[in-house]
Chain A
Amino acid sequence: MNWATILIDILSWVLILSGSAFVVIGAVGTLRFPDFWSRLHAASVSESAGMILLVAGMCLQSGLTLITVKLIIIGGFIFITGPTSTHAVSNAALTSGEKPDSDEGAAK
């Protein structure tokens, strides 16, 4: 095991652990935030960031193989569909009458 493989291993584990941290923080935010919109925000944004970091870390683990190509394709798919589904959910909530109450909090 030479220095390059050790460096790649350390880098990939840093990426995987920080991506996991993003996902866990997003899950905590989804449970703890007060209203629907901030919960949706916590779920979607941290999920996208965590997914990118996790896929990058797994790409470094698998090296230059077909697995890396599949991981990049999966990452691109989630990168497009995640924000789109968040948009669809928030659009449906706004259409059915859910209003953000951030102005009330700022006034108090």
Chain B
Amino acid sequence: MHHHHLILRVVTKMLVGAIMLFAFYVQFHGDFSPGGGFQAGVIMAVAFIIYGIVFGLDKAEQVFPPWLVHKLVALGVLLYAGVGVVSMLLGYNYLDYDAFSPHHPSHGQHWGILLVELGVGITVTGVMVAIYYAFAGRPPPMKDEDW
């Protein structure tokens, strides 16, 4: 692993940061252009998955440990539902974004959508990385010579 795939390792090191930056661009530019939490979450997860494919699962789990992945899955849903609960506590309907800025409803909707999309992005990142860890960490069911 350390002597093989030199080109893939160098290119991956160059591109992982750019992929993460593009994920944030899709996340926070989703109000104005195609994109949003789902796509940004998948792109962010791709950065970790390609790191795990090239450098090995143990290295990826050092960078992004499984306990943190599982916490992030719950945190995103909590943020999404929490926005709705806060708008209910402020006296509006569930997920009624007007609650965050009653005098300027468009500002409130901007903030509400931003927070909800952030929750979606965090959860999608966590779920995608968790699925990859579950598949890659599984022991192989059959060896090649068993066929």
What is the total number of residues of chain A having a CB less than 8 Å from a CB of chain B? Answer: 7
Prevailing SS type, chain A contact patch:
helix
B11 at the interface (CB under 8 A from A): yes
Complex formed: what's the CA distance from A77 to B22 in Å? 12
- How many B residues, CB 8 Å from partner? 7
Contact: A80 with B8, CB < 8 Å? no
The 8 A CB mask of B1-41 against A (1 = contact, 0 = none) is: 00001011001001100100000000000000000000000
* Nearest CB of chain B from residue A39's CB, rounded to whole Å: 21
Report yes or no: A84 in contact with B7, Cβ–Cβ below 8 A: yes
Bound complex: CA A81 to CA B15 (Å): 9
Which residues of chain A have C-beta atoms less than 8 A from B14's C-beta?
80
A89 → chain B closest CB, angstroms? 11
- The reply on A17 being an interface residue by CB < 8 A is no
Q: Per-residue CB proximity of B64-100 to A under 8 Å, as 1/0?
A: 0000000000000000000000000000000000000
**Residue on B with the closest CB to A88?**
B8
Interface residues of A in 55-96 (CB under 8 A from B): 77, 80-81, 84, 87-88, 91
- Pair A87/B15 contact, Cβ less than 8 Å: no
CB–CB A80/B15 < 8 A: yes
In the bound complex, CA of A81 to CA of B7 (Å): 11
Distance (whole angstroms) from the CB of A23 to the closest CB of chain B: 23
Cβ of B7 to closest chain A Cβ, rounded Å: 5
Question: Do A84 and B8 have beta carbons less than 8 Å apart?
Answer: yes
In the assembled complex, which residues on chain B have CB atoms less than 8 Å from the CB atom of A80?
Answer: 11, 14-15
CA separation between A77 and B11, bound complex, in Å? 11
Chain B residues with Cβ below 8 Å from A81 are 11, 15
Contact indicator B7/A87 (Cβ below 8 Å): yes
Distance in angstroms from A86 CB to nearest chain B CB is: 10
Leading 9 A-B pairs by shortest Cβ distance: A84-B11, A87-B7, A80-B11, A88-B8, A84-B7, A84-B8, A80-B14, A80-B15, A81-B15
14 sampled A-B residue pairs with Cβ under 8 A = A77-B15, A77-B18, A80-B11, A80-B14, A80-B15, A81-B11, A81-B15, A84-B7, A84-B8, A84-B11, A87-B7, A87-B8, A88-B8, A91-B5
Interface residues of A, Cβ cutoff 8 Å to B: 77, 80-81, 84, 87-88, 91
